[in-house]
Structure 1
Amino acid sequence: MAVAVAAFVAVTGAGIFGLWSYYAATGPAQETTVVIPKGAGVRGTASVLDAAGVIDNRKLFLIATKITGADRMLKAGEYRIPASSSMRQVLDLLRSGKTVVRRFTVAEGLSVRQVDALIRAEPALEGDPGPVPPEGSLLPETYHFTLGDNRQTIIARMRAAMDSNLAVLWDKRAPDLPLKTPQQALILASIVEKETGVPAERPRIAGVFINRLRAGMPLQSDPTIVYGIKRGEPLGRPILLSELQGITPYNTYTFVGLPPTPISNPGLDSLKAVMNPMETSDLYFVADGSGGHAFSSTYAEHQRNVQRWRSLERQGVR
C-alpha cells in the first residue's frame, strides 16, 4: 500500500511539475495580435490562441486556466501578445483587459463631411455614426479607442472636446474683441485654419481679420467662398470671377462680418490665435511664394505684394 501511495505521489508530482514547466515556458519568438470575441469563453479563447500559434496545447491551457481560476476572468478584446510570452504571461494579459489601443487622427481644417467619411471608413469601429454633426463642432486631435468601439461614441468625444476647449479659451480671451459669442470665435478660427498651414502665422492672420471686423471691412477670405460652393469639399480649380461677385452667405467679399457657420473644424492653435490675436496694424495679406504670406497695413503696400505674387505665379511658383 505504501509503495502504491508513493508511486501515485511521484506520478502526480511529475504531472504538476510538467504542467508548471509548460505554464512558465517561453512562447513563440514573434509578437502576435489576437482578437478574443465577446462570449468566446475559455474554450473559444483556447481555439483563438491555438490558431494564432500563441499556445500549442489546448488541453494544458484549459487545465492551467482551471487551476489558476483564470477561466472565470478572461476578457474579450484585441490583444498584442509580446514575443516569447509564456502561458502565464498570456493569461495575465487576458485577465488584465489591457487591449490594443488604436489611434484615430483628425487633421486640422477638415470639414465635418470629411471627418464623417474617415470615421465611416475606419474598419476597427462599429455602428452607424448617425447624422453629420454641425460644421466646426469636432476638435481635430488624435483619439484613442479599442477594436469594436462605436462610431457615435468617437464623434461624441470629438464634440465634447471642442465644447470644453472652446469654453476654456473663451474665458481667457483678450478684452474688447469684436466677437460676441464663442460660436463667432469658432467661425473666425475656422477661417484662420483654412487661410494658412504655417502655425506661426495664425495669430497674425487672426489679427488682420480682427482689425477688419473692427474697421467694418469685408474679411475677403477665399476659403469662405469655396465653402459656400462645395460645403467642405475641395474646389479643385481656381475661384471664378463670377463666384467672387456672387451673393451667398459665405461670400466674405460681398458682405461685412462673419459667415453664418464655421467653414472647417479648427485646431487648438487657430482657436487660441483668435482668442488672443497678435496686436498689429496689418489689414492685408497675400501669398509670398514660400508657403507663407506677406502682410501689409496699407492698400498700396498690399498691391505691391500682390504684384510680386503674380510675378511668382507666372514663373510657376505655387
Structure 2
Amino acid sequence: MWRHVAANALTFLTVGLFLLAGLVTWGVQQYSAPGPLAEAICLRVPAGATMRRISDDLAERGAIASPTVFRLGADYTERSGQEKQGSFLIPASASMDEITAIVTEGGPSTCGTEVVYRIGVARTLAEVRERDLAGDGFTELAEFQPGLDPIPAAYEQVKAESDTTYRVVMAEGVTSWQVVQALNALDVLEGDVEEVPAEGMLAPDSYAITPGTPVADVIARMQSAQETFLAQAWENRAEGLPFDTPEEALTLASIVEKETAIPEERPIVASVLVNRIEQGMRLQFDPTIIYGITRGQGLLDRPIRESDIAGATEAELHGEVLYNTYVVNGLPAGPIANPGRPAIEAALNPAATDYLYFVADGSGGHAFAETLDEHNENVIRWRQIEAEAGQDG
C-alpha cells in the first residue's frame, strides 16, 4: 500500500515538474516575444516608481499582455529595482524584455517634452517641443524670446513636469557677452554672472542642463570644452602656419567663422587669411571693424562708415585701434567671436590655395580670386546681382 502511495506521489511530482517547466518556458517565450503595442507610446517613469507601477501602467496602455510575467521577467534578469526616472519611447511591438531594458538602462529621456534655449547671433530663442512619436521629429508647442516676450502657458506647464528635459544650444559666431546675457536671462538657471569670459573661449555646442544649475557652471563647461578642443586641434595643426600660439589660431578661426557659414568654404577662407599674412597684406575684413566698435556687445545697428574703415570711430571710442584689420597689420588683438570646431580646424589646417580675395557670389557663397583684377571682376558681378535684386524687390 505504501509503495502504491509513493508511486502515485512520484507520478504527481513528475507531472507537476513537467507542468512547471512548461509554464516557465511559456513565460520566457511571452517575455521575449513581440508585444501587443500597435503604436509607439511615451512612458513616463516618475522618481521612485516600482516595477509593479510600471507594469500596471504598461498593461493599462496595451503595451504588455501580463504585468505578472513582466515583473517576473525583470526579477529573473536581475533588473528589478534598477528603474530610472525619465520619459522613454516604447516602440510598437516592443517585447517585455526590450521594455525592461529601456526603463532600466537610463540615459537621457527619449521622448516627452523638452525646452531648447538657442543662443544665436541675433537673438536667443526658447523652443518648447514634444517628440513626434510617429516619426523622428518634434511638435512645437511654443516659442518665445526669454526676457523679452510674454511667457507662454505651454512653457509654464512643461516646467511643472518633472521629466521635462532642458538644453542650451550655442551657435557658432556668438560673442561671449551675448552668451552671458542669454544665460542670465534663463529662469531655469541660477546666479547671474557679471564677468564676461575671454572672447573665443566658449565652445559652440549643445549642453544638457537641469533647473537650478548655476550660470557659472554652464559657462565653465563651455570653457572647458573649448580649451580641450583647441589643445587637440593645435597638436594636429599643419606645418608652417604664420602664427605661433593657439590664441592666434583662435583669432583667425573667429574671422573665418564670421566670414562664411558654408562648411566647405571654411578651409578656403582660412587660406586667404594665411596667404595675406604671409605676403604682408592687411586682412581687411569688415567683421573686425564691427567688433572694434561694439566689442561684441550686440549688433551694429547701422552700416559701416568710411570713418569706421579708417579707424577714427574706433580710436575715439577706445583710444586705440586694435581690431580693425583695415588699419592694423596681421591679426587683430584677439578673437571677434566664439568659433566652432570646424572653423578652428580650418584655421589650423587651411586649404592649399593661392587665393588672396573673395566676395559674395549671390548664391550664399563666395567667389575667390588670386589676383586683384579677377577680384574686381567678381565684385562687378556681385554688384550687378545686388542691383537686379533691388529692381526685383
Length-normalised TM-score, structure 1 = 0.71
Q: How does 1:66-81 map to 2 (within 5 A)?
A: 70-81=79-90
1:94 aligned partner: 103
1:238 to 269, 293, 303: 303
Query: CA-to-partner distance for each residue in 1:244-268, whole Å, 9 max, x for gaps?
Result: 3421543322333433332233233
Secondary structure of 2:389's aligned partner: coil
- Counterpart CA distance in 2 for 1:275 and 1:138 is 18
Query: CA-to-partner distance for each residue in 1:134-153, whole Å, 9 max, x for gaps?
Result: 4322444567x698896877
1:162 to 218, 223, 226: 226
- Counterpart CA distance in 1 for 2:364 and 2:77 is 62
> Residues 178 and 296 of structure 2 are in contact (CA less than 8 Å); yes or no, is this contact kept in structure 1?
no
1:309 aligned partner: 382
Query: CA-to-partner distance for each residue in 1:68-96, whole Å, 9 max, x for gaps?
Result: 65442223233221212343432233233
> Residues 220 and 253 of structure 1 are in contact (CA less than 8 Å); yes or no, is this contact kept in structure 2?
yes
Evaluate the alpha carbon distance shift between residue 316 and residue 161 of structure 1 in structure 2; reply closer, same or farther with a 3 A threshold: same
> Residues 282 and 297 of structure 1 are in contact (CA less than 8 Å); yes or no, is this contact kept in structure 2?
yes
Letter aligned with residue 36 of structure 2: G
Q: How does 1:245-284 map to 2 (within 5 A)?
A: 245=311, 246-247=313-314, 249-284=322-357
**In the alignment, structure 1 residue 229 sits paired with structure 2 residue 300:** no
2:46 aligned partner: 37
- Counterpart CA distance in 2 for 1:294 and 1:186 is 25
> Residues 360 and 382 of structure 2 are in contact (CA less than 8 Å); yes or no, is this contact kept in structure 1?
yes
Secondary structure of 1:259's aligned partner: coil
1:211 aligned partner: 275
Paired residues in the alignment total: 313
2:130 aligned partner: none
Evaluate the alpha carbon distance shift between residue 62 and residue 207 of structure 1 in structure 2; reply closer, same or farther with a 3 A threshold: closer
- Counterpart CA distance in 1 for 2:258 and 2:373 is 25
Relative contact order, higher structure (CA 8 A, sep 6+)? 1
> Residues 166 and 271 of structure 1 are in contact (CA less than 8 Å); yes or no, is this contact kept in structure 2?
yes
Q: Share of identical aligned residues, percent?
A: 39
2:258 aligned partner: 194
Evaluate the alpha carbon distance shift between residue 165 and residue 64 of structure 1 in structure 2; reply closer, same or farther with a 3 A threshold: closer
- Counterpart CA distance in 1 for 2:72 and 2:263 is 59
Letter aligned with residue 181 of structure 1: T
Secondary structure of 1:264's aligned partner: coil
Query: CA-to-partner distance for each residue in 1:83-128, whole Å, 9 max, x for gaps?
Result: 12343432233233355469976544344466668878999xx755
- Counterpart CA distance in 1 for 2:385 and 2:177 is 34
1:293 aligned partner: 366
2:36 to 9, 27, 50: 27
2:118 aligned partner: none
1:135 aligned partner: 199
CA displacement at 1:183 relative to structure 2 = 0.8
Which one has a larger percent helix, Structure 1 or Structure 2? 1
Evaluate the alpha carbon distance shift between residue 299 and residue 129 of structure 1 in structure 2; reply closer, same or farther with a 3 A threshold: farther
Secondary structure of 2:282's aligned partner: coil
- Counterpart CA distance in 2 for 1:122 and 1:54 is 38
Query: CA-to-partner distance for each residue in 1:127-173, whole Å, 9 max, x for gaps?
Result: 55974654322444567x69889687776555444323322332333
Evaluate the alpha carbon distance shift between residue 231 and residue 64 of structure 1 in structure 2; reply closer, same or farther with a 3 A threshold: same
Evaluate the alpha carbon distance shift between residue 112 and residue 50 of structure 1 in structure 2; reply closer, same or farther with a 3 A threshold: farther
Evaluate the alpha carbon distance shift between residue 147 and residue 71 of structure 1 in structure 2; reply closer, same or farther with a 3 A threshold: farther
Which one has a larger percent strand, Structure 1 or Structure 2? 2
CA displacement at 1:204 relative to structure 2 = 3.1
CA displacement at 1:281 relative to structure 2 = 4.6
Length-normalised TM-score, structure 2 = 0.60
What runs of 5+ residues in structure 2 fail to find an aligned partner?
112-166
> Residues 176 and 197 of structure 2 are in contact (CA less than 8 Å); yes or no, is this contact kept in structure 1?
yes
Between 1:19-28 and 1:168-177, the stretch displaced more is: 19-28
**In the alignment, structure 1 residue 185 sits paired with structure 2 residue 249:** yes
CA displacement at 1:181 relative to structure 2 = 1.0
Secondary structure of 1:79's aligned partner: strand
Evaluate the alpha carbon distance shift between residue 166 and residue 149 of structure 1 in structure 2; reply closer, same or farther with a 3 A threshold: farther
**In the alignment, structure 1 residue 83 sits paired with structure 2 residue 148:** no
> Residues 70 and 95 of structure 1 are in contact (CA less than 8 Å); yes or no, is this contact kept in structure 2?
yes
Evaluate the alpha carbon distance shift between residue 232 and residue 291 of structure 1 in structure 2; reply closer, same or farther with a 3 A threshold: farther
Q: How does 1:104-119 map to 2 (within 5 A)?
A: 106-112=170-176
Letter aligned with residue 165 of structure 1: F
